[in-house]
Every structure is written in C-alpha cells, then in structure tokens.
Amino acid sequence: MDREKIIARLTEVFQDVFDDEELQISDDTTADDIEAWDSLEHISLIAAVEKAFKMRFTMKEVSGMKNVGEMISILCERAKKC
C-alpha cells in the first residue's frame, strides 16, 4: 500500500470515527484541529485505525504521535512501500 492509498483509507477512518463525511486530514492535522477529538475519541480512533490496517500500534508509537503525519509514517513503515 503506497502513501496515497494509506492517506485515502485513513481519511475514511477519520470520517467514520468523527462522523463527518467532509473531514479531510493532512500531515499537520492534530486533535486541536478536530473539535470532537478528545481523549475518548482518540482511543476509538486508534482502535479503528488498527482494525482498518490490520495492525497494532505499540504504546510508544501511540504516545509519540504528535500529528496525523506521524501516524501515516508509522503505517508506511509497516507497509514498507512508502
């Protein structure tokens, strides 16, 4: 899976979790950019991303993510095709 496909799939996950079909993400997107993104939704988001990409983040990865770009980088690294 290449970076563009990862971003497209990740956008779908964000739209589903935050129930907003218009939501668009970028590398710089953070919880501050999405009103509904609180600590509980963060857990739901991580679980949904793990399910969508059939993988598990480590606690270090989750705690180290500062923006969506870092999440994409981890997903790309796991896919080894970005």
Q: Which CATH number fits domain 3-79: 1.10.3720.10, 3.40.50.11540, 1.10.1200.10, 3.30.1490.190?
A: 1.10.1200.10
Q: State which amino acid sits at residue 30.
A: T
Q: How is residue 33 written in tokens?
A: 């950019």
pTM of the model: 0.93
Average pLDDT taken over every residue of the chain: 95
Q: Is the pLDDT of residue 80 over 90?
A: no
The secondary structure of 21-72 as a DSSP string is: TT----TT--GGGSTT--HHHHHHHHHHHHHHHT----HHHHHH--SHHHHH
Instruction: Round to whole Å and give the CA distance between 27 and 56.
Output: 20
Quick check: 37 and 18 in contact, CB under 8 A? yes
Please report the pLDDT score of residue 81 as a whole number: 63
